[in-house]
Amino acid sequence: MNTQFMPGPSITLTTRILLVITALIALLFTIQPAPASSSTSAGDAFGPACGMATIDGRVDIPEWHGASSETFQMITVSTADPLTATLYVMNSGSYLYLGITINDDEFSEQGKWLPGGDTFRIDFDNDHSGSLFALWDDVLGVSAGWPYFEDSHIVTTSSASSDADIKYGGRPNGDGASSRVGRLNHYELKHPLCSGDELDFCLHPGDLVGFRLEYLDGEGPDVFNGSHFFPDREDTSIADIVIAPCSNISDNYVLLPFINR
């Protein structure tokens, strides 16, 4: 007698399970992980761009038309509404120029903890190490109220504290001004590429210097409305400025090309 053996239900179920497992393994090897996100995008580089402007606190487009520029939303961890800013960067071969507009709803010349009111602080990564707040790194400030412009440097790495160069034997190199224009706050500053001051950076054509913007928003003498950052608030969130060769533009400053810092 011929006897036929038919697979039982348990064998069929096992086969199906094995097929599903095989398909899942193949799918896992097919899917590529997404690249890790970074707080600083690859496009956050300004320059090279040549030009110069009158530092009067008004970012006039005819003066800044040749600048490298970008409009972005500044990052904040406070409950304040995010602010949108436009940064313009250029150099004359002697000076680095920065122009900034921001859609703050007021222009305060005083604020809580802010004697100068609404202030832009620009922290530089002098040696392009990829991290801010090394000792002696340059810090520039331009504010709505007095002192309007400050040339300083990092004096305490643990707290990222800065202090004016003039207190340490340096000079206040550069100029800054600000104003309210329509519904925007305007800020302009210039700083020598290579002043000869040991407390300043010394930049040459082709150099790359890292930086981060921080906007400190004061709303009257008793209010601080938080800090806003670009590209981000982390110490390693840094954008770049590329120094262009712009030797034919005169703004009455002598470049000292052989001083390295």
**pLDDT, tens digit, for every residue of 37-59?**
233 343 489 999 999 999 999 99
Is residue 151 domain-resident? yes
Is residue 256 domain-resident? no
Q: Whole-angstrom Cα distance, residue 240 to residue 213?
A: 11
Is residue 235 domain-resident? yes
Q: Whole-angstrom Cα distance, residue 140 to residue 150?
A: 6
Is residue 249 domain-resident? no
**pLDDT, tens digit, for every residue of 129-185?**
999 999 999 999 999 999 899 999 999 988 889 999 999 999 999 999 999 999 999
Write out the residue range of the structural domain in which residue 173 sits.
Answer: 52-242
CATH number of the domain residue 166 falls in:
2.60.40.1190
Size of the chain, expressed as the number of residues it contains: 261
Is residue 40 domain-resident? no
How much is the pLDDT for 159?
83
How many folded domains does the chain comprise?
A: 1
Is residue 76 domain-resident? yes
pTM: 0.78
Average pLDDT over residues 14-33: 43
Give the phi and the psi of residue 19 in degrees, each rounded to 5. Answer: -65, -40
Give the phi and the psi of residue 123 in degrees, each rounded to 5. Answer: -95, 130
Is residue 46 domain-resident? no
How much is the pLDDT for 220?
64
Is residue 2 domain-resident? no
- Residue environment code for 31-40, b if the CB has 16+ CB neighbours within 10 A, otherwise e: eeeeeeeeeb
